[in-house]
Amino acid sequence: MKAAYLQFQPVLNDTEANIKQIAELTGKITESIDLLVMPELTNSGYLFTSLDEAM
């Protein structure tokens, strides 16, 4: 099994831009892989900056 990971700077709350960036970056993969690992919530750029925002 071949695994790869993808890290990039997601745009906060811009799912469309993040998915576009993921597609562009994965399109550059030249080897066959079985599993692509990305950070949790990568597509949404979801990030709390305060406890109030999380509630």
CB burial class (10 A; 0-12, 13-18, 19+) of residue 18?
buried
| pTM of the predicted structure, to 2 decimals | 0.68
Give the three-state DSSP class for 53: helix
Mean pLDDT over 33-44 rounds to 86
Mean pLDDT over 19-47 rounds to 86
Of 10 and 43, more confident? 10
What is the rounded (10 degree) CA torsion for 10, 43, 23, 16? -90
Q: What pLDDT, on a 0 to 100 scale, did the predictor assign at position 12?
A: 81
Q: What pLDDT, on a 0 to 100 scale, did the predictor assign at position 14?
A: 84
